[in-house]
């Protein structure tokens, strides 16, 4: 897909942001995730716990952990992801389009890192700003 996109418009400036998080951090984050099967509300046992013990704040449904949020399954998911995306990351590294962003911290901290990377690339003229 990346090569096909390049054939469509190989002259367009581009930036590819890779939000990078160590595997152990991902495993810890995902294994804390619980959901409500009724309303799909998502809770994090540490960052955003439900107010009631194992009960959804929205609809009072019983919270469950998805089977794919088990640490063993998460490790396999990470392995498959790495295998499937390594070539794509390498492709954009060779094109000097890839920008890693540290994915640890709060959503706001990560967002600010992304903004900084994009602003830096815009300032260097590497990507163009689209006016609306």
Which string of DSSP letters, residue by residue, matches 79-91?
Answer: HHHHHHHHHHHHH
Q: pTM for this structure?
A: 0.71
Residue 23 has what pLDDT? 95
Residue 64: phi and psi, rounded to 5, are: -135, 160
Average pLDDT over residues 98-126: 89
What confidence tens digit (pLDDT) does each residue in 19-46 have? 999 999 999 999 999 999 999 999 999 9
What confidence tens digit (pLDDT) does each residue in 75-96 have? 999 999 999 888 899 999 998 8
- pLDDT tier for residue 5 given thresholds of 50, 70 and 90: low
Q: Kindly tell me if the per-residue pLDDT of 132 is higher than 50.
A: no
For residue 123, how many C-alpha atoms fall within 13 Å in the half-sphere facing its CB?
Answer: 6
CB burial readout 30-67, b (16+ within 10 A) else e: bbbbbbbeeeebebeeeeeebeeeeebbeeebebeeee
């Amino acid at each position: 897909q990346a090569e096909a996109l390049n054939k469509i418009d190989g002259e367009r400036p581009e930036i590819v942001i890779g939000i990078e998080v160590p595997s152990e951090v991902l495993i810890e984050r995902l294994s804390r995730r619980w959901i409500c099967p009724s309303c799909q509300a998502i809770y994090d046992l540490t960052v955003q716990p439900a107010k009631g013990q194992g009960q959804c704040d929205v609809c009072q449904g019983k919270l469950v952990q998805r089977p794919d949020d088990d640490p063993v399954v998460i490790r396999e998911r990470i392995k498959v992801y790495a295998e499937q995306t390594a070539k794509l990351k390498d492709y954009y590294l060779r094109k000097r389009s890839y920008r890693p962003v540290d994915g640890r911290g709060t959503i706001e901290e990560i967002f600010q890192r992304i903004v900084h990377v994009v602003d830096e690339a815009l300032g260097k003229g590497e990507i163009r700003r689209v006016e609306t």
